[in-house]
Chains A and B, each alone.
Chain A
Amino acid sequence: MNRLKYILKRVLMAVPVLWLGTSMTWFIIYQGPVDPAANLLSGSERLTETKYEAARTELGLDQPPLQHYVDWMWSLFTLDLGQTWLIYPGSSVGALVLDFLPRTVWLGFWSVLIAVCVGIPLGFYAGIRSNTVADYIASVSGIVWRAMPNFWLAVILLAVLVGSESLLGFDWDSFLIRLPTGVTGNPGLSYMAGDPLALFTQPRDTLAAIKKVLPAAVVLGSASMGNEMRIGRTAVLEAKNEQYVEFARARGVSGRAIVWKHVFRNALVPLVPVITTEAFLLIGGSVLVESVFGINGMGKLFFDAAIQGDLPLVGSLMFVFIVLLLSINLAQDVLYTLIDPRVGYEGT
């Protein structure tokens, strides 16, 4: 029962966090130095009193602030995200999010997967062969990889892929699967609309969508990859020196079995929070990576809204991000109690 209690406690903790985060967003946007209503009007419209008043009424800003706050919070928590003003004017934010979110999820999924599939094995390899040349090369490249700014890496990778024919000797656009629209742009996910199974039944489209998002995913996952490598290496080094490993060795268990059954399994535990903490990096990094690679995802939507001053949209999107992050965190907690049963009892 303790595990259930622990998870319940985490859920309860998430509620005030969600409330506080959303309230801060409201305060920044509606009580900040920028008038959101005036921001939504063009230069000439701003001068006409009626238009301005209409915009204020539409946003509910003619109410007293407390009333507005309650209304705003209520509509968000009932998932009524309002409408857009400057970006795709007049469409509902909910529909917009549903349209943009799949691309970001697709990008995030592949960037996590690539980081996990490259970073962890490399880290484990370095940990098992610690203090060899291979370990040093892997460790140093992991550290440098981690320090590289995403936006710069994206710019360089994009340029190299666009000019791949002359630089690398093969043309990225027609490599394996032909991409008619070049390196940048949205991954074609529409074939899955209404039929999620198309992911498996139409492998050609799936492959094309993966290839399209691959460079962006590699960049976005770069920091996580370096992180996972580093931590995977330390975890293996620690697990290697545990007493149960020595005991197993003394009992004559083969080296292979020790590595797979005892070292790797226990080394995986500290990696779980690392993978989920990277959700923060992924969402922040998606702004830059999506901007460089021209993917119309949530990050780019948020950035465009902020740049053009569509503050109501910025607020709604921030709410979506907060909910997203909190759910990832909760998922992590659940996963963690499954992998490492000790966790629920430490009173964290």
Chain B
Amino acid sequence: MSSPSTSSISSAAATVGELLAGSARPAEDRGILDEGAKREIRRAALSAVCVPGYQVPFGSREMPVARGWGSGGLQVTLAVVGAADTVKVIDQGDDDGVNATNLRRLITGSVGCAETTDSREASVVQTRHRVPEQPLAADDVLVLQVPVPEPLRGVQKSVAECARMHAEADYSSIWVSLYEDLVHNGVISRSTGYPVLVDGRYVMATTPIPRWDVPRLHRSTHLSLFGAGREKRIYAVPPYTDVVPLTFDDVPFEVEGARGARCARCGSVDTFLVEHGSARFGCSDTEWCDRVRAGDADAEAHRAAAPLALLPEAARRAGRQRPPVETRPLPPPRRTGCADGTDWTLKVDRIGKVHGPGGAAAVPGTGPEHRTAVSPVTGAVVAAWDIGFDVAPGEALGLIGESGSGKSTVLRCLVGEEAATTGTVRLAAVDRGRTDVLSLTPAQRRRLRIDVLGFVHQDPAAGLTLNVTAGGNIAERLTAAGWRSYRDIRARAAALLDRVEVPLVRMDDPVATFSGGMRQRVQIAKALATDPAVLLLDEPTTGLDASVAAGVLDLLRGLLAERDAAAVVVSHDFGVIEALTDRSLVMQLGRVVEQGLTDQLFRDPHHPYTQRLVAAARR
């Protein structure tokens, strides 16, 4: 949104008085918001209608009410309301709350529109925390005051990261939070502001309206505009738009209910009830309550529209399951096979990485024959240069070398954690191997890590979220890949954990409580969760005690044989490479100095550097 330029105003008039007269500023609005600001807000609201559920930034102005007291809703209302409108304002469903009273006074005072408490007469309803019980008409606008517009804030504190997650529809962390909630509490314990998926695209915060009101936004006839003044965001649910609460397919979304509760004033059992005196309930919507008492409400239509089918029913809940005692064995993977006309799943060509200036110009004078990786020309570090290999399904390739030889750099370039200076990477799963993976956008490359590339880090903490359960860590990968059945996710996680020999009684414990070896097993299970075609292992046993490492190595050997993935194993330890791989590349100072079948290299190393590595492994 660009600032209005001054020249268009200043060229036309001479005095400040004329300038003021020339800028559209009706006298009645002088109290709160100037016309230019209203125009900006309307533009933002129109953008919001065009992209349902997307948070549109806007130049939120300071209002005569505190930020948090409806300054966003007030700006939206002032921007859309005209003198011919009739406005209703509620807080907690009540027309007479202090906040509602105060806002109504400000709106009607500055716009000169009519006010009402009857939803049927209102053309604009501004509300905090409720959707009126009376269904709104097709032309009506519901303006909701929003304290916190970001549905992901609870799972991600960085606003830049939240923006990225929305842009890429990367919502697995909020799914994991629902999974964890179910594991720990047996129900989804989120109360108000329940996250919803709007129009199948954006996850949106439903302000803090109760869950009771959430289904009432789904395909509603009216327009809902959400104004967050403090955080400077407007978003919208246009009429007839899908609004679907986030929950697993087999876990019912529940609205608030209390057994046998009815309104102590009007007797309704199909409204949102709040505590009313001790041990009693009353309608939070005071207008509806009064009209039911007066016999002026279409109770039948209301009952038909009320979310009674979503009242809690313990029998339907997935329940707080114990970890499954028995699991079915992990089913065999489905494979895409090789790239067209080839026999590889992964092909890396002439990959190079230079840290520092010069790019390819930094390469001459570096490498094993010069005994340095530092460029004599530019001072840059040539971490890896001219590395190429391909890997077939079911094959494991080793990259071995001392620390600093560039083997992990190659792996990081491959997976996208570092940008390669040169080279290409092709995957059978991407465009049948015709597209260079390095040419993809960062978002596309992140996507590959969900179901094409599995990565096992040396440090389990780099691949796991430590405060999340073992099952939840696997659920992160599965939900990212689109899994939406709680039972299926748990069954798959249990099968994976069982396969990597993590006791299932630990499935619902946070991995922070696990030993190093156990964490590494969970990380391996997570990497295998979606049966990726390519498995990348970076020093998978290096951080472990010798006896624990031996167990993990045995496990990996079995898995590589069984899962039919193309694997790349990086290690400084010839023992690991020998145990896991068929072919190997020996790297020194960023170059490949020798390659061949692993057992031959191990038996009969030619290069002196390889001989040293082999000798070290045999000690």
Q: Do A and B bind each other?
A: no
| Residues of chain A at the chain B interface (Cβ within 8 Å) | none
Residues of B within 8 A of A (CB): none
